[in-house]
């Protein structure tokens, strides 16, 4: 398998990386992952599990010993 080309920067994407299904080169992939991670966070609930939040408004009052308070 030949190297693919990154659609963002035009650099080569190694064949092993392309075989795993990645379209972007390592550097552009890292930038995309960083941007994606800015959209969510994981917070602990009181005496419970962790919750994935994507809306910043849900963060206010979420750990007040009983759940979500708005």
Could you tell me if 24 and 10 are in contact, meaning their C-beta atoms sit under 8 angstroms apart?
Answer: no
Could you tell me if 3 and 14 are in contact, meaning their C-beta atoms sit under 8 angstroms apart?
Answer: yes
Does residue 43 register a pLDDT over 90? no
The predicted model scores a pTM of 0.57
DSSP character for 23?
-
Does residue 17 register a pLDDT over 80? yes
d(CA 19, CA 23): 9
């Amino acid at each position: 398998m030949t190297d693919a080309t990154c659609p963002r920067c035009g650099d080569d994407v190694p064949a092993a990386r392309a075989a795993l299904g990645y379209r972007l080169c390592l550097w552009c992939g890292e930038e995309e992952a960083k941007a994606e991670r800015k959209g969510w966070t994981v917070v602990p609930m009181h005496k419970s599990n962790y919750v994935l939040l994507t809306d910043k408004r849900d963060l206010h009052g979420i750990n007040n010993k009983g759940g979500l308070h708005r």
